[in-house]
Homo-oligomer: A and B are copies of this chain.
């Protein structure tokens, strides 16, 4: 089959790879129908050391069950399924608490021995628990782009808002106008935030943010951007800040615009390890820092109904579609910021 591999920074290729096969009796083989490129794929695209073997790419996909292991109980060939960006056994102590990304037996698609989602097919472990069947939708449905966002970006934005405990009346600031930032805006809106300030400087993206529920856009960065948010919030800052970038300046922006007693919820994968957390940044104002990899598996069923009934359309984050062969172009377009998020069709 054809599959996308990265061999180092800027070096993405679609190659011939072995077809996936069942390994464990709880596995399923999924033929991929839609996939996409993630903002987090750009981190290795910038910094990955050369690797002759390459790493399989892609962690967001919708597909159709092709084959199931002997112990798969709830899925059958032909089912349309959504995969979260992490697989999980559904039974361990963390899965029971809803923290699927910390599953004792779980993992991520780019782990050794796994395959990526930017490929024609993939082996899915713990298929019954990892995958979510989409009832009444076929692979030609116009809902597929929105359903695909449940693999990662919508659930990740929802996680940001959930961990921040966004509630009616809140003023929420969202740092970052990428797909996750826009989904954080939508999620904050769904949770009843009164005011949603989107910090981003790409007009086409912030316009979509307004469509998703942003009430204000702050295009300025750094001190100027901080001053603008303060001005919009009576000098106090936002109750909740959803950080959807992952770079240190975004974190610094977050703690400088959050209100005393407020919450910073991070879902951008941090590209730093050390950061300010002392009296001057978090402690003095009783600021809470939360967030992490979103356990999107737990959010798929919760968020799907509003997609199926058409009341939300998160699939609008896809502003370009390519076939698998053109995936390297998709990375380039997203890296150059000419595409917000690229969908892959098969």
- Which A residues are closer than 8 A to B by beta carbons? 93-94, 97, 99, 101-102, 163, 236, 251, 260-261, 266, 269-270, 272-293, 295
Contacts of A291 in B (CB 8 A): 283, 286
Structural contact, A261 and B99, CB atoms closer than 8 A: yes
Structural contact, A283 and B277, CB atoms closer than 8 A: no
Structural contact, A283 and B272, CB atoms closer than 8 A: no
Task: Please report the C-alpha to C-alpha distance between residue A102 and residue B272 in the assembled complex, in whole angstroms.
Answer: 29
Number of copies: 2
Residue contacts A-B, CB under 8 angstroms, 27 given: A94-B260, A94-B261, A99-B260, A99-B261, A99-B286, A101-B286, A102-B260, A102-B261, A102-B285, A163-B288, A269-B283, A270-B278, A270-B279, A272-B278, A273-B276, A274-B274, A275-B277, A275-B278, A277-B277, A282-B289, A283-B291, A283-B293, A284-B292, A286-B291, A286-B292, A288-B289, A288-B290
With A102-B260, A261-B102: A278-B274 Cβ-Cβ less than 8 Å: yes
Contacts of A97 in B (CB 8 A): 261
Smallest CB gap from A275: residue in B: B277
- Identify which of B276, B280, B293 contacts A286 (C-beta below 8 A): B293
- Identify which of B266, B277, B292 contacts A274 (C-beta below 8 A): B277
Task: Please report the C-alpha to C-alpha distance between residue A293 and residue B280 in the assembled complex, in whole angstroms.
Answer: 12
Q: How close is A164's CB to chain B, nearest CB, in angstroms? A: 11
Structural contact, B293 and A284, CB atoms closer than 8 A: yes
Smallest CB gap from A93: residue in B: B236
